[in-house]
Each structure stands twice: as structure tokens, then as C-alpha cells.
Structure 1
Amino acid sequence: MEKYDAIIVGGGNAGLAGAIALARSRRKVLVVDEGNPRNAVSAHAHNVLGHEGISPHKLLELGRAEATDYGVEFASARIESLSGSLEEGFIISTQASQWQAERILLATGLSDALPEIPGLQKAWGTSALHCPYCHGWEVRDQQIAILGVSEMSTHQALLFRQLSDTITYVNHAPKSLTAENRALLAAVGIEVVDAQVTDIAVSDDGQVQSLALNNGSTLGAQAVVVASQMKANASLFLGLGGDLSQNPMGEFISVNEMGATSVPGVYAAGNISNLGAMIGLATAAGTMAGAAINADLVMESAKKKLARK
């Protein structure tokens, strides 16, 4: 069984950044990735300094090339299990292979659970959005419908109001809109429609056209904003005995400032540990976790050498 200093699960921005940080410290690193990035449906990535509007796929391609230049190895596979401990070492198993590592970095991101509204999934990532900083500029001055589905929806409406004068809040889940928040929306000129969305008309290329409401009316819209329920892809972490934390956006792995989790020897970076992390922040977290893993290994080696004297 081949042994690595660190195995990184997930080859997105956080995982690749962690791999590069480790490889630049001459660590033997393996990245295991399924090839299903969260932003695969998006045509462009934003807030990436020096690469504004780059294709998410191209950005990962560049990152993989950089990592490969430093000697990082890659395996395209779905991991069946992660076992072991800091003392014994960790073992990652796929259907075809097994590898051992002294440290693990989880960078498997998250999954978005959307309300079950016909048409929403088809538009997701094109004209159905969740983040004003990631895609808000692209829908500026458009007719934007905010789906009121959670306590985050009012926050989204206020942020998107900065980008367009034509914002409508559809009170799809009435209990999520408090009287105080309704007053806030009114104060900035956002109309509230007390109805549920029964269907979203979407073109073949993912462009929202209108929303059908349960009161029999139709609301014209060019973009829909919805707060997904975000769930960290953390089954491997749970299998090691780890626990998930929660906030209004969803479930995630808690880490310290260096990316260390509650399970010794296991680190996490990117959306798996920060549900709101954009590409830049995920990349920085990956670099920090990679540096922390290297420092951890350096200290462990030094202590072992001292004990032998």
C-alpha cells in the first residue's frame, strides 16, 4: 500500500491550494477527486483576483497543472471509506485502490438542497442564484424575484436591492418572514407578494422567464434568488467519529484558524468548513491548512528524533 505524507480528498480550489502548499514543502501528496465541482454549472467565476470571469473549469485546470509541476499526484475515484487515526495512520479505500497517509485534508465542498419547485433546478447556476457577490453584477438592473424560503431570504433581498430597482419578494414560506423583516423590505421599496411559487418557466438555456403563483397570477422575472440549504459533503468525516455544526445556512465541519478539525490529524478547508466561502477564501483556507499540516509533520518528526537521542 503506497503511503503519502498527506492525502487530500477533493480537487477543487481549496484542495488544490492545500496540495500546492504541501508539495512546495517537498511533501508527498495525493489528491483524490471525483470531478464534480459545485460550480460546474456556472459559466464564469468572479472575485478571483487576476482571473475575473474565468471559467471555473479553466481555473481548476490551471491549478491542477501547477500542482502537477510540484509533483502532486492525482487519482480520479470515488472514495468508499476513510479509516484510521493519527497514531496508526489513515487509510483511504476506493473500489480499486488503497492508500495510506499521515494526515488528511478534506476539501469535498458542499451540496445545495433547493426547494422542490419545478424549473428551479434547471435554472440553478444560470439565472437562479444565491450569492450577490458571485453573480449579482451579471443580473444588475434586471427583474429579480426573491424566493422567501428561509430567514436568509430577507438578507438576500436587501443585498440584491443594491443591484436592481426591480425586486419582488415572493413569500413562499410565510413563517420565514417576520413583521420586522417585512417592514425592512417595505422601507427600501421591495414589494412583498404573499403567494407560493408553483412553477418557474425556464428556457432551454437556463434563463428564467416567469414564475407561476398559487393565487393564479404570473410574475415576470429574469432572475430568481433562492437560499439553498447547504450541507457539507462530510460522510467521511462522520465515519471517523466527527460531528457537524450548524448555522442558518446549513451544516459544516468546525475547524480552528489553521483548518484542524476535532479529529486529530484531519483538516478541512473550503465550503466543507465555511458554507459562505467564495473561491478566494476557499483557496486561502486550503493554503493555510496545507501549511499547518506541513508544520504538524515537521514538529512530529523533530520530537521523534529528539526522543531517540
Structure 2
Amino acid sequence: MKTEKAIYLELAGIAFAIVIALLCGFAVILATSAEPFTALSSLIVDPVSNLFNIGTILNKAVPLIFTGLSLAVVFQSGVFSMGAEGQLYAGGFLGALVAVNIHGLPAWIHFPLILVCAMAGGALFAGIAGWLKAYWNANEVVTTLMLNFVAILATSYFVNNVFKDPASGGYARMPYISPDLLLKKPIPGFPAHTGFVLALLAVVVVYLLLYKTKVGYELRLVGKNSRFADYGGIHTNRVIISSIMIGGALAGLAGIVEILGVHGTYKDNFSAGLGFDGIIIALLARNHPVGVLIAALFYAYIQVGAQTMQVGSDMPREVAVIIQVMLVLLVSSQAIFAFLKQKYATRQKAVK
């Protein structure tokens, strides 16, 4: 288990990576913009300048929290899954089918049923990669990436043909979901929907699962040393499959919450890479549930800042991509954290 000092060192490394990534973005703006200070203000200040932008940040953070949690769970088991995107589509698709095609149920029963089916869809689809990894030792990076295409293209076929709303014209989507089943926006003039409450609840549940249960202990132990876990009597194959399926269930929640909170229907290619963004969130959070919450909010803040910067200045929103890429490179690099640990150890020896 990590000591308190080790945790502080990791936090310092993450903060350092964020600062460097932001400075790289600022350098690009200063070098290319005719109005750099206006662009910087639009990027940094405008996202929190009014309730609409703040609500947009929260809405963008919600699916990122779910996909970040999904991948954090899987990564903690020592499996590097890339499949949250496909699992998100599979879960969102099944949840939307239940929302559109089941009638006569009261909303207080129908809504939880939608969420459960979305989780089941994501979990079962993820279980394919888990089974291949556990019993065939198939490389999970390859299988999950390939399965992403299976889920995205299969659901695209169904929503363009079998389940397409006849009234949608040339637009590929299912019929609109009943307003009673959609996530509400409880504060007038504030666009944030109640999916953020579900995301906060998911953070708490995943934290308790990972750090307060036997399942979480076994999962983290397998991630640290699978041979030792197997020697200690832990069924490592079962743990690998269960971790990937738990991650798939969370990714399925990301899909259905995005549908119920933003789109109001299942439409073709609705995700825009939310599952892949979850990889960045999990890496930035060092696979900790609370860190996922903070990282997702920060990531959504940068996304909204890029939009306001594009509208309010001469800089395109692609500057945010530079910041995101730098974050991935820096946070995924173990050199930063190794350097900080070495400096800390040298200082401790000097004190002694």
C-alpha cells in the first residue's frame, strides 16, 4: 500500500505535469495569437464566468467521470483495457432500447431498469475481452481496441436500419425517449443535469469497492503482483474478468447518462471519443476514484475553455488538444515520479 509520503509525491508529480502542459498551451497562444491576452482570458476565465458555462463543464464532466472510473478499476487490476468506448456504445444502446420499447411502467421503476440494462450491456460486452485475456492470454490492448469497432459499427448498423425512427428522415437515431425518463435540470437557467449526482455516487461506490471490500483488495493485489496473488489463493482469472466487467458496467452508465442527460435519444456516433478520454482521466488521476472526479472536472474545464476561446478570440479550440496531449505524455511518463522520489530520498539522506 502507498504511504502518505508516496501519495504526496505522486500529487506533486501530477501538479507539475498539469503546470507544464498549461505552459505549453500558453506558449503556443503567445507565439501565434494577435490578441494573446484575450485568448488566455477566454481560455482560463470565461469557463467559470457565468452559470451556463459552469453547467456545461459539469455536463461534460459526467461521462468523463464514469469512463475514468471504468478504466481506473481495470488499470488497478493490472489490465490495460482500451475498450471503454465500445462498452459505452453497447451499454448506451441497450439502455436506450429499454427506454424506447418498454411502455406502461412508472418512471420510478423504468428509469432504474434503464440504468441496470445499460450497465449489463457494457459489462457483458466487456466480458468478452476479459474472458479472452483470462483464459487465452489474448493481449487486452488489441482485443479491446478491435471490439470497440465491433460495438460502434454494429450499433451504427442497427440505428441506421432496424431501430431507426421513421420520422427522423436522413438522421440516424432511435425515437426520442419520454421526457419523464430523461435526467432533469433542477435549477432554472443552469444547464447541469442530475447525472452529476449519479457520477458523485459512482465515485463513492467505486472508492468503497476498491479500498473497503475484499473484492477491491484482491483486484489491487492482482494488479500489483498476479503471481503472488495466485500463490495466496486468489483466483486471478476470475478477478481479471470481474474487473473488466465492472469497468464495462461503468462505461455503460457513461453512455446512457450521456443519452438521457444531453441527447434525449440514441443517435449514431454520439460519443465523440468519451471512452478514449477516460484513459487520460484515469492516468491523470493515477487510478484513484477521487482523483478521477477532479481530473474529469479539470478536463471538462479545458474543453469548455477551448470553446470560449475559439468564440472570443482568434485562437482555434485545437490549442486544448495540445494541452491534453502534453498531459498524457507527462502523466504517463514514470520519469517525473521517479525523479521526485529520488530527490526526496536524497534529501532524507542529507538530513540524516
User: TM (normalized to structure 1)?
Assistant: 0.29
Larger RCO (alpha carbons 8 Å, 6+ apart): 2
User: TM (normalized to structure 2)?
Assistant: 0.26
In proportion to residue count, which structure has more helix?
A: 2
